[in-house]
Amino acid sequence: MIGKANSNEASREIRIGYDNIENVGQIDIEKVITDTENQGIVDNFLMIYLYKEKILDTNKDIDKPDVHISVMSPKQSTGLIDSRLWFTNEGAVIGIRSGESWDQVDYFEINKSDANYIKEQIEYQED
């Protein structure tokens, strides 16, 4: 009985946010995708993040990403992945915070197909 009562609570959620134009440093969460509403999308995001390729150098401005994507564990009240994405002609560059702050970042790239999938799921609007 307890398992059924708790089964509606998400174990993973993906938060999609954008920089607030008026308040520097504020991220406005515009979409949340949970595994209870769409397990397939959450799994696909996790697979994209799992199979990304590490890159050493990037010319991206860490403070001006196209989108912020976080993977959370709401049951544990824990952030699992804190990332920023920059879409490119070849796909996307992902910066993942690897320390306490954004002073420590690891960079990765994903292909155009994976980047397009992310754009579609987050309903990304290019300027």
**pLDDT digits 0-9 by tens, 13-65:** 999 999 998 998 899 999 999 999 999 999 999 999 999 999 987 777 888 99
pLDDT of residue 61: 81
Query: What are the structure tokens assigned to 27, written together?
Result: 């991220």
**Residue 75 dihedral angles phi and psi, to the nearest 5°:** -60, -35
Radius of gyration of the chain (CA): 15
113 band by pLDDT with thresholds 50, 70 and 90: very high
Residue 127 in domain: no
**3-state secondary structure string across 68-91:** EEEEEECCCCEEEEEEEEEECCCE
Number of domains in the chain: 1
**How far is residue 2's CA from residue 94's CA, in Å, rounded to a whole number?**
39
Q: Which structural domain range is residue 14 located in?
A: 2-122
CA distances from 127 to 60, 76, 87, 108, 110 (A): 17, 36, 12, 23, 21
